[in-house]
Amino acid sequence: MSKLTPIYGLGFFFVRELGLIEQIIIFEYHDPLEEYRSIIENKHRLEDEKSMLKRNMQYFLDQETVKINNKQVYPRVIDVELGFKGDYSYPYIMFFIKFIGEFRKGINIYEDTYEPEIAEYDYRVYWFFPSKARVISADLGVPYSLMDHGRILSFIVNKNTRTKGYEKIEFEME
């Protein structure tokens, strides 16, 4: 029986001027039985695990409705990496995801609708907007902060927080 326990999540969203959004999402785990060590040491098992993780993440992304300026976009998992943080009992899984929307000069709106849930672990998210953009407002269900004159947005979701199933970020592009 697996003892793999999620302990932390970290997400980075990079917004490009032409509408490309690239995500790096990292999930950290505690793995006292070092199950992931044996997976990584076997090339065939590693490829099978990465394929399964990619399919699973894509399944969850397909359950979401993501829109940019009221037009649905489709996030796609492009790769998965597995590694360790410190020692073999602390593996991480890193997902590389991308999608493309159409931005316009002036106000743009990103929306994500998903199934509400109770967070199993703490996680932090960062959004990096282009140098000529700034966040005007956000509805994330938790407090957020802005840095670099509104170009970088960050927020934290603590373990046991009930997510509302909806996120909206309104930003202006010059």
> Are 111 and 126 a contacting pair, CB within 8 Å?
no
| Full-model pTM | 0.94
pLDDT value, residue 86: 87
Looking at residue 1, its pLDDT comes to 52
- The range of the structural domain enclosing residue 120 comes to 5-173
Q: Which of 173, 139, 171 is nearest to 155 (CA)?
A: 139
> CB-hemisphere CA count at 13 Å for 160?
0
SS3 165: coil
CATH number of 36's domain: 2.60.40
- pLDDT score of 22: 98
Distance of CA 14 to the CA centre of its chain: 11
pLDDT profile of the chain (174 residues), mean per 10: 87 96 97 94 96 98 98 98 94 98 96 96 98 96 97 98 96 95
Strands of the sheet with 152-157, listed across from one edge: 76-84, 91-100, 20-30, 5-15, 122-128, 152-157, 144-147
User: In angstroms, rounded to a whole number, what is the distance separating the alpha carbons of residues 64 and 61?
Assistant: 5
Number of domains forming the structure of the chain: 1
